[in-house]
Amino acid sequence: MNLTMEKEKVFTDRIWIISGGRYVDFDHKRIPEDLIPDHVWEEKISELAFYMLNPNPFEIKKRLVGCRIDSLQPSSYKIKSKLKKILPLWIGRFINPAKIPPKTIVSDSEVLMPPVQDKNLESHFEKLDELLKSYDLTIKLLSKLDKERISDILGICDDFGGSRSWLKLKGALDDKIEYIKNFLFKDVGVILGSAYLSKGLFEMRGFDFRAFNPENIYKLITVPVKGKTRHCVLNLKNEIEFWVDNHNLVKKMHLLEQSIKMDNKFREAIEFCMKGDAKPLKIFFNKEIEIKYSIDHLPLIYKKLFDEYDIGNNDRNAIMNFLKKDQFGISFNCLSQSEAGEEKICTNISVMHYYKALEPIKKNLPWLYSEIHKKVSDSDAGRFYLLDSIRGYQNA
């Protein structure tokens, strides 16, 4: 079913990411004494933050939908490529080695069956699916491959919403071909380096929201090491579990905490994952969201203030200009399912606004500045308030 505001909020007080910090005495038995001062900055983090900050690899499941076939390159290509590297540029530009491009095969013949309650009927459908798979174009093409002309084969996995990713396969060429044949249209294990993928993007399919225990509390210790700020996370036994060298990741945890506290829609989406009514996909921190608000397209918080108070056009336009700057977006994608089995990707976006961006209106519109100040949340990541909350759906 689609996420709705009418759903009962039974987990509202249980979701948390990170606490405020304090200076505490540190037990030097846990870390070499020459690295750690007597007093350290300590914050508490939840299981969710522990997962997102963890730099260690983990496995998730992805649907295998095809493969990429890399051809062996002819000798002429290898020779020309080497010549292009060693010859002067003015000569090398006339040498254009012709490379045989990889061939991508993605099957679109999978039949998605609606969920059934009868296990025998479900097993029957699975057997039929296996029988029909032999007629799939991908399987037929793989059976006819000239393996003497192939250098490698990569799997292609569906990442929802139209995006796809590569799956590196192990073993000899025959093993890779058989793997594609056997596991086409099935969920396969994919190892990721960490939950943090890159550029503000976190993979959330590796975290079991249904097993989230808010009472499990981990410690995040911030320490200066050789002139640099480092963070270490202690497990439930107060032992070092891992180090976090990217301070921006810790700031993102504070921003996520603010979003969950202030944005009902964002928090509700996580609640649905905790209850098993939706499956988590990604969390993305976007500092370049730049939504162009206007008088006709106002965030609700300012629409109410504009309706309640008489504000001149010049002041309104000035406020609009300030709202376009210093925005920060946090989006959470999850997969919801209707009773008919139709899957949709639900995207929830918290649009945060940097409070300092409103400094120019403090003198002329002190009352408005004061009203927004009431909605500001302070954290180590800065002073932000919830400017807007957006929810949308798309087919999976």
> How confident is residue 134, by pLDDT bands cut at 50, 70 and 90?
low
pTM: 0.82
Range from 29-33, 87-91, 250-254, 321-325 that averages highest in pLDDT: 250-254
Mean local confidence (pLDDT), 126-147: 71
Query: Positive or negative CA dihedral for 207, 209, 213, 217?
Result: positive
The average confidence (pLDDT) of the chain is 83
Asked if the model's pLDDT at residue 46 lies above 80, the reply is yes
Give tens-digit pLDDT for 255-302.
999 999 999 999 999 999 999 999 999 999 998 888 888 888 889 999
Q: How confident is the model at residue 32 (pLDDT cuts 50, 70, 90)?
A: low
The token duo for 110 is 């999978």
21's CB contacts (< 8 A; 6+ apart) are 41, 42, 43, 222, 380
Statement: residue 57 has pLDDT above 90: yes
Strand blocks (E) in 246-354: 278-286, 327-337, 343-354
- Which segments of the chain are extended strands (E)? 22-25, 39-45, 58-71, 103-106, 150-158, 164-168, 187-192, 196-198, 201-203, 218-225, 228-234, 240-244, 278-286, 327-337, 343-354, 377-379, 382-395
Domain boundaries, the chain: 59-69+103-192, 195-212+246-395
β-pairing, 218-225 vs 228-234, is antiparallel
Encode pLDDT of 189-246 as tens digits. 999 999 999 999 999 999 999 999 999 999 999 887 777 788 999 999 888 899 998 9
- Ranked by mean pLDDT, the top range of 31-35, 52-56, 63-67 is 52-56
pLDDT at 152 over 90: yes
The dihedral sign for the CA sequence 184, 186, 187, 188? negative
| Low-confidence winner among 74-78, 113-117, 317-321, 322-326 (lowest mean pLDDT) | 113-117
| Paired tokens of 2 | 């689609």
For residue 334, give every residue at least 6 positions away whose Cβ sits within 8 Å of its Cβ, in sequence order, or none.
3, 269, 272, 273, 278, 279, 280, 281, 345, 346, 348
Distance of CA 284 to the CA centre of its chain: 5
Q: Where are the beta strands (DSSP E) in 265-324?
A: 278-286
